[in-house]
A and B are shown apart, each in its own frame.
Chain A
């Protein structure tokens, strides 16, 4: 079945880096954009970034530019989000999600990863 499986929870110290992977299966990896969202403890969802698995092009919200890198490896159908210079307020669950193909203007995520908890603590 179509699914996204993310890497496991991480505990990092302030200033460190973290990599969160998102492995796709059950569909053609290159045909669907992947987006990332995060959710701080007790807070709402925050959209943060996207990657085109076909070309590797990507972008993120301004607050993460310069600190976040997204890559993809077509051979293993995996996208990876790296966040550097971690701060305590980066503590959150990070989700990857597949963009649904729809004929109408808008955006929808039809498949989500299970989430990866990243804890930043000294």
Chain B
């Protein structure tokens, strides 16, 4: 089965830019999608496909892909962006299965 690797903890100064990465072999064949989860809440989709945002997601969130790495960039981080962020992709051995990255806890300083 596939694995996706994320940095467990990151921080960013208010108003600055941060890139959260997700690495795994499956990303050579499938796009990742990204989720934001705040304490006590269900995850919400923030980026999917090549670099698409569902309606209502601020444009300071963007995604990119290169080789085996997917990236989520927050340009001009806000206090409300402090959350856990997860990537997910399909499994390389069985594309009906999927796998989450371990998650990145983002602190906005």
Tell me the A residues contacting B by CB distance below 8 Å.
35, 37, 44-47, 50, 59, 61-62, 95, 97, 100, 102-110, 112-115
In the complex, are the beta carbons of B103 and A44 less than 8 A apart? Answer: yes
Say if the beta carbon of B50 comes within 8 Å of chain A.
yes
In the complex, are the beta carbons of B30 and A106 less than 8 A apart? Answer: yes
In the complex, are the beta carbons of A47 and B98 less than 8 A apart? Answer: yes
Closest to A99 in B: B98
Tell me the B residues contacting A by CB distance below 8 Å.
1, 29-33, 35, 37, 42-45, 48-50, 52, 54, 84, 86, 88-90, 94, 96-103
In the complex, are the beta carbons of A108 and B30 less than 8 A apart? Answer: no
Q: Given A106-B49, A110-B45, are A44 and B102 also a contact pair (CB < 8 Å)? A: yes
Closest to B48 in A: A108
Q: Given A105-B29, A106-B33, are A113 and B102 also a contact pair (CB < 8 Å)? A: no
| The one of A62, A95, A100 that contacts B43, using a Cβ cutoff of 8 Å | A95
In the complex, are the beta carbons of B50 and A45 less than 8 A apart? Answer: no
Q: Which of B45, B86, B97, B100 has the largest count of A CB atoms less than 10 A from its CB?
A: B97
In the complex, are the beta carbons of B96 and A47 less than 8 A apart? Answer: no
| The one of A46, A61, A106 that contacts B31, using a Cβ cutoff of 8 Å | A106
In the A-B complex, list the 7 residue pairs whose CB atoms are closest, starting with the nearest. A106-B31, A108-B48, A108-B33, A44-B103, A112-B42, A104-B49, A45-B100
In the complex, how many angstroms separate the beta carbon of A92 from the nearest chain B beta carbon?
A: 13
B residues less than 8 Å from A100 (CB atoms):
45, 48
| The one of A45, A59, A62, A105 that contacts B96, using a Cβ cutoff of 8 Å | A59
In the complex, are the beta carbons of B29 and A115 less than 8 A apart? Answer: no
CA distance A45 to B86 in the complex (A): 8
| The one of A45, A62, A114 that contacts B103, using a Cβ cutoff of 8 Å | A45
In the complex, how many angstroms separate the beta carbon of A42 from the nearest chain B beta carbon?
A: 10
| The one of B29, B44, B96 that contacts A112, using a Cβ cutoff of 8 Å | B44
Extra contacts besides A47-B88, A47-B97, A47-B100 (8): CB < 8 Å: A50-B98, A105-B29, A107-B89, A108-B33, A108-B45, A108-B49, A110-B45, A112-B42
